[in-house]
Chain A
Amino acid sequence: MFFLNLSAGEFLALLGALGGLVTALYFLDRTRRKKIVSTLRFWTPAHSAEQQQSRRRVNDPWSLLLQLAGLLLLLLAMAELEWGTRERLGRDHVLLVDSSAWSADTAAGTRETVLAREKVVAGQYLAAIPSNDRVMLVRVDGLTTPVTPFTGNRGELRSALAATASSFSALNLEQALSFATQAQTWSNGRKGEIVYVGARLVEDDTSHVSRPGNLRVLTVDANRENAGIRSLSVKRGERESNSWQATVALKNYSSSVRPVRLLTQFAGTRFAPRAVMLKPGEQTAVEYDFVTHTGGELIAHIETEDGLASDNRATLQLPKGGPFRVAVFTDRPETLRPLFTANWRMNVEYFSPAAYSTTKFDADLVVIDRFALSTAPRVASLWILPVKGQSPLPVKTLVKEAVITNWHGETALGGGLHAKEARLPSAEVFEIFEGDTAVASVAEGPVVVARAATASRPKIAAVGFDPLSPALKFEITTPLLFANLLHWLSPEAFRTFELSASSVGGASVTLDPSERAERIRVTDAQGISVPFTVRSRALQFFASRPAIVHVVSDDRERILSLTLPDVAELQWTPPAEVGREVPPASAMLPAAVDLWKWLATAGALCLLAEWILFGRQRSFRFGKNAAAGRGSVPPGSPEFPSRSTPQSHNPQPNTPQPKVMAS
């Protein structure tokens, strides 16, 4: 017999203190209370004889005994008294069930998956431990996820175990063991075992992982006869606007040579299958070049006989391609042509100004060179020397022989523009409003202005001078200014896409030196921000489950399809001294008998009996007294009848007498 929460000394001290308090309260309850009265003349000596009783005398010994007994039993219940030895006390175990990517592989020598086998082994362990042992079930893969608290409810544990499914990430053993150790410390119970059930396949070296002394490893070996896709990446070709380059990385995880047939298709079109012979542990890359201007799904699939099917297929969603269409309305196309040929993603068409209203054109950007329009274009537009009075941006004044005094380098549009005192034979000075961006200014005001798009109006940029005039034609600033304006008007034309499919878990993207960390956004497919870090030009984030993540910087977008399993390649070897088998039920000591429920019930019964026998009577009497409060005379008194019959104060109502008061 032992107390779970208290030592015998602590228990006795607590009992003594509370028992003394109860006894003191008992006597205090019976202490004479003082009361001031109008007179003492009606208290007879017969009453005073009763006062000879000592206040220290226990009038209701059974009441006190029942109270003390109830207190004792309740204290014992609170101390969780158990019948047995301390060694039979229940313990707290942490059961780590490996749900990493390898748990979906076929278990060695069986047709079951590793996870199904793990569930069987974990169930055997739960059956072997004593019934009053508590277990916390934890699912471990790339993340450590507690599924249940410490509980003795085997049904709850088995339900949680049955609901466990394989994930796509690799096992993080260090994190799992660290969590289990902390959980046992925080449980404040008797420490049990930390039991790992799984294939022991980890991604990183585990030599530095500290292993708790109470560790038990129940290994469920995986077949590991697997070959799979490690990654699938796609990027645009450098020379042609619609060309793409896809790379599929394949790996053989097994210990034998495996033939693999790689099938690839895009938007329903199959590419020629390729047969690859992979040596044990070999990883190879297969490249495809293809040209398309449409979007679609790129699928890479391998045909091989293995147990892990989740890495046999990778998909990528390619964005809609196609060139950026620019319509230039000018009467000097040859002069403007060099400005637009620098970017091969642009498909530029030249029209005469008169064709604006007569020709049907389809463009993403319109360039208006020195003429007025009756109707404004519905797409982004770049105006060169617009006609005063019909300019989309109001022209404030015309100036002659002006000098550009300020290239607004603090804005993105003015970046890199540093021409010193560029002289303009004539220029239009624009009036700017809130939201407008001045790119270049003369003394009288801005001469290059950009106006951002609104819901009803596309982007507009206007150049208030002729950049191709003989004075400016050979300035290096001119193509840079156009490049900046075109980049601002149509950033999509300059953005490069990189798409890759890789494994779930930690992802790393190498950034270009020009990419600034504060201008990078990382979002998932729903547009929700994903936390990331940038360290040494490497952007890192973690995905615990399959996801599509967009990494967007200034003119670059990377789409990472993290849908492949993170297949670990190393096998962890636990120390030789740890237990490796499910312990037999006989090895566990029988459980101690828990008595607190019975003790609590008995204590409550004692207090209930005390109340029925003594307390209820007391409260009943008090209640009766209170009920007799507001009547002046009890009904039974002949001299003072009840208040409802005040006239009966006079015992002789029929005697004719004058009245004291009369109306």
Chain B
Amino acid sequence: MTEPIVDRRFLERLERLTLHWQKSFNGLVGGHNLSRFSGPGQEFLDHRNFDQGDDLRSVNWRAYMRFERLFVKMFQIEPRVPVRLLLDVSVSMTVGNRPGDPTKFEYARKLAAALVYVGLVRHDSILLQPFSARLLDPFLASGGRHRFQAAEKHLRVLEPRGKTSYLETARQFLGEYPQRGLVIIISDFLDDEDCFRPLQYISDFGHEIMLIQVWGEDDRSPSGKGEMELIDAESGALFKIELDDEARAAYTTSFDAHAADLRKLALRNGGRYAGLSTSMPVDEALFGPLMMIQGG
């Protein structure tokens, strides 16, 4: 029997969490955020005078009995914000972890499964969208928690492959999903090209971005010493180096600067950013840094 990506005890702990977003999106969107627009819903919003053509079922007949005037009850709309989870499944997600730690891919997959479950519990619809060089087969998770197994199965069969291309991914994403919504991107953001511009495009298009950067300890603080040949996992490019403390320190500084730039980009566009090391358990990350992060 295949071992589940997330165990039952962890899922039970996720029951009390909710996905939130910060923006108000134009049009009918879904989720749990209140909307400024009235419409069909459960929560009462206000009364207005009856106009010809209004639905008689919305007339407040009690008020008519008292005031002998027709008032129509208005209800608060239940928003439907599309939540889309972009999961990086490129080859670079399989390297960079220290022995004993999960790979970035395993870590990101587990994190994605947890987020999908949180959305399903609140009857949100979450689109699982793996990507590497381009968008791969998506999976729409909706209909409550009992649909989680299908989403988990879809996640389980994912295999790391391909080279990351954020530009192509963003171009495809914006073409296929014009409706604005919350975009959660789980990736290491370690492509050889510039990932900032595509992320800016997505944000400029009206999506709210939530960047979850996953890194292995070796990604941030490379181990080893002496002459080494570093091979890019995705491109196969070779880089010869005499690795010493100074070089490692410079590398870590560059890595931290990159992560800081990602965070700035997210905050600048009203989104959020979280950096997670694979050495930190997923449940600890969910109930720790991910609950605490704030947007700009």
Contact = CB atoms under 8 A, between A and B. Distances in A.
A628 B248 CA distance: 12
Contact of B230 (A43, A633, A646): A43
B217 A630 contact: yes
B76 interface: no
A663 interface: yes
Contacts of B245: 621
B291 interface: yes
A626 B225 CA distance: 12
Nearest to A51: B240
A452 B293 CA distance: 102
A653 B293 CA distance: 9
Interface string B14-34: 001111111000000000000
A358 to B, nearest CB: 98
Contacts of A653: 294
Interface in B14-58: 16-22
B222 to A, nearest CB: 7
Interface in B247-296: 247, 250-252, 254-256, 258-260, 263, 272, 274-277, 279-280, 285-286, 288-296
Contact of B233 (A36, A657, A659): A36
B210 A660 contact: yes
Contacts of B4: none
B294 A639 contact: no
Contacts of B251: 42-43, 47
Nearest to A42: B254
A647 B292 contact: yes
Interface in B122-151: none
Contacts of A36: 95, 230-233
A34 B221 contact: no
Interface in B202-234: 210, 215-233
B168 to A, nearest CB: 18
Contacts of A576: none
A50 B247 contact: yes
Nearest to A647: B292
B256 A33 contact: no
Nearest to A626: B223
Given A631-B279, A658-B22, A47 B241 contact: yes
Interface residues of A, number: 53
B118 interface: yes
A632 interface: yes
Contacts of B258: 41-42
Nearest to B247: A47
A40 B243 CA distance: 13
A621 to B, nearest CB: 6
Interface in A579-637: 618, 621-622, 625-626, 628-634, 637
Given A634-B221, A660-B272, A39 B192 contact: yes
B226 A639 contact: no
B241 A50 contact: yes
Contact of B291 (A48, A628, A663): A663
A48 B224 CA distance: 16
A661 B286 contact: yes
B288 A646 contact: yes
B106 interface: no
A365 B289 CA distance: 108
B181 to A, nearest CB: 14
Interface string A17-61: 000000000000011111111111111101110110101000000
A37 to B, nearest CB: 5
B210 A657 contact: no
Given A42-B255, A53-B227, A37 B95 contact: yes
Contacts of B285: 646
Contact of B17 (A40, A652, A662): A662
A37 B20 contact: no
Contacts of B19: 660-661
Nearest to A29: B226
A649 interface: yes
A650 B247 contact: no
B292 A38 contact: no
Contact of B293 (A31, A35, A640, A660): A660
B228 A660 contact: no
B242 interface: yes
A657 B295 contact: yes
A629 B98 contact: yes
Interface string A357-373: 00000000000000000
Given A35-B231, A661-B18, A40 B294 contact: no
A34 B292 contact: no
Nearest to A33: B228
A378 interface: no
A655 interface: yes
B277 to A, nearest CB: 3
Contacts of B286: 661
Contact of A639 (B242, B259, B272): B259
A70 to B, nearest CB: 23
A643 B276 CA distance: 9
A643 B277 contact: yes
A203 B102 CA distance: 88
A166 to B, nearest CB: 74
Nearest to B189: A39
B228 A38 contact: no
B295 A649 contact: no
A649 B221 contact: no
A661 B115 CA distance: 10
A565 to B, nearest CB: 79
B250 A46 contact: yes
Counting from the closest, the 7 A-B pairs by CB-CB distance are: A632-B277, A657-B294, A50-B242, A51-B240, A42-B254, A39-B190, A32-B227
Given A38-B219, A630-B217, A657-B295, 12 more contacts: A34-B231, A40-B232, A42-B255, A43-B251, A632-B279, A633-B277, A637-B256, A646-B280, A651-B263, A658-B20, A658-B295, A663-B291
Interface of B: 16-22, 92-93, 95-96, 98, 101, 104, 118, 188, 190-192, 210, 215-233, 237, 239-245, 247, 250-252, 254-256, 258-260, 263, 272, 274-277, 279-280, 285-286, 288-296
21 contacts: A34-B229, A35-B224, A35-B229, A36-B232, A37-B231, A39-B190, A42-B255, A44-B250, A48-B241, A50-B247, A53-B242, A621-B225, A621-B245, A632-B215, A634-B221, A639-B263, A646-B292, A647-B289, A660-B295, A662-B17, A663-B18
